[in-house]
A and B are shown apart, each in its own frame.
Chain A
């Protein structure tokens, strides 16, 4: 049965509205066709992109040309280590793409790619003041998420586990608490390994999931992209449907009367 979409099913981030709750990264696919087919199979409307120096020997084919308007790009500030670098990268992205939103990354630990909350807050405030819709990639810490929302972030994007680790959501309770308390949408970003991780994120109350490596490095990226699409939809529907309470003992689902031999 097709469940009709209601207005509640539309994801709103700042002034943007989406039907899909899956954001997909564009990095690390075996080839360009696998990337494009995965984007299509995932049903995503938002694909992330990095901003990097061009190679000095000239201008080649751009990611924009490749994507050809199939999805809305969400530029990131991946690799930035300070608020200053991240702010400039976001401003360059706006100039290059004409887009005023950004997945804000400020990394505090190069090994684990863990967010630097202090610099992240600073960059968020600066970019919000500069007119950006800011989606900060952050730790799974309730207070950090609240401070980011207070600073004007349009969504918060706590990590489930380190970027590219595929470890899943290491602290589901922390994510659930953030979802319950956040005044802005929560997008689970990083750590997803397989479809059940994405479904869990949605069941915990996330508004969307952002993932990349779980699809791009899967043995069959296109099939995994389809699995992620289904998992996000299933998790969202389960969350909206309302799960049953957990109980210690059994609760028979068959009638207790009329048993033979009674």
Chain B
């Protein structure tokens, strides 16, 4: 099954790259203060476009929130 987990929730894998998946959520290369981890490792912003997504991948998209 070609699914991917995004922020802990499984969904069909429809994006070819990290950049494609982010773009579908309104996050572009210039969106400030967003970071991404693929399978537990940070994907630098400069690598978003060239990092492919594969079935079974685990992607986390984070940003700062209010907190102590």
Contact across chains for A59 and B7 when beta carbons are under 8 A apart: no
Q: Which residue of A is nearest B6, CB measured?
A: A56
Find A59's partner among B26, B36, B64, B67 (CB 8 Å cutoff).
B26
Which residues 1-55 of B have a CB within 8 angstroms of A? 6-9, 25-27, 31-37, 40-42, 44-45
Contact across chains for B67 and A49 when beta carbons are under 8 A apart: yes
* Contact A53/B60 with A88-B42, A95-B44 known, Cβ cut-off 8 Å: yes
Contact across chains for B68 and A213 when beta carbons are under 8 A apart: yes
Closest CB in chain B relative to A34 CB, distance in Å? 11
> In the complex, what distance in Å separates the CA atom of A89 from the CA atom of B6?
16
> In the complex, what distance in Å separates the CA atom of A89 from the CA atom of B27?
20
Find B34's partner among A29, A54, A78, A91 (CB 8 Å cutoff).
A54
Residues of B within 8 A of A96 (CB): 33-35, 62-64
Find B63's partner among A27, A29, A62, A213 (CB 8 Å cutoff).
A62
Contact across chains for B68 and A53 when beta carbons are under 8 A apart: no
Contact across chains for A62 and B64 when beta carbons are under 8 A apart: yes
Closest CB in chain A relative to B8 CB, distance in Å? 7
Find A58's partner among B6, B7, B8, B26 (CB 8 Å cutoff).
B26
Residues of A within 8 A of B44 (CB): 95
Q: Which residue of B is nearest A65, CB measured?
A: B32
Is A35 positioned at the interface, with any CB of B under 8 Å from its CB?
yes
> In the complex, what distance in Å separates the CA atom of A76 from the CA atom of B64?
9
Contact across chains for B37 and A50 when beta carbons are under 8 A apart: no
- Count of residues in B whose CB is under 8 Å from the partner chain: 28
Residues of B within 8 A of A78 (CB): 67-68
Contact across chains for B40 and A88 when beta carbons are under 8 A apart: yes
Contact across chains for A62 and B32 when beta carbons are under 8 A apart: yes
> In the complex, what distance in Å separates the CA atom of A48 from the CA atom of B68?
5
Contact across chains for B63 and A52 when beta carbons are under 8 A apart: yes
Find B66's partner among A29, A88, A164 (CB 8 Å cutoff).
A29
Closest CB in chain A relative to B59 CB, distance in Å? 10
Residues of B within 8 A of A25 (CB): 67-68
Is A75 positioned at the interface, with any CB of B under 8 Å from its CB?
yes
Is A135 positioned at the interface, with any CB of B under 8 Å from its CB?
no
Find B67's partner among A27, A65, A84, A92 (CB 8 Å cutoff).
A27
Contact across chains for A26 and B67 when beta carbons are under 8 A apart: yes
Which residues 65-111 of A have a CB within 8 angstroms of B? 65, 73, 75-76, 78, 84, 88-89, 91-93, 95-97
Contact across chains for A92 and B25 when beta carbons are under 8 A apart: no
8 A-B residue pairs with CB within 8 Å: A51-B64, A53-B62, A54-B7, A63-B63, A63-B64, A91-B37, A93-B64, A96-B34
Known: A50-B65, A95-B36, A97-B33. 10 other contacts (CB 8 A): A26-B67, A27-B67, A49-B67, A52-B64, A52-B67, A54-B7, A63-B63, A63-B66, A64-B64, A97-B64
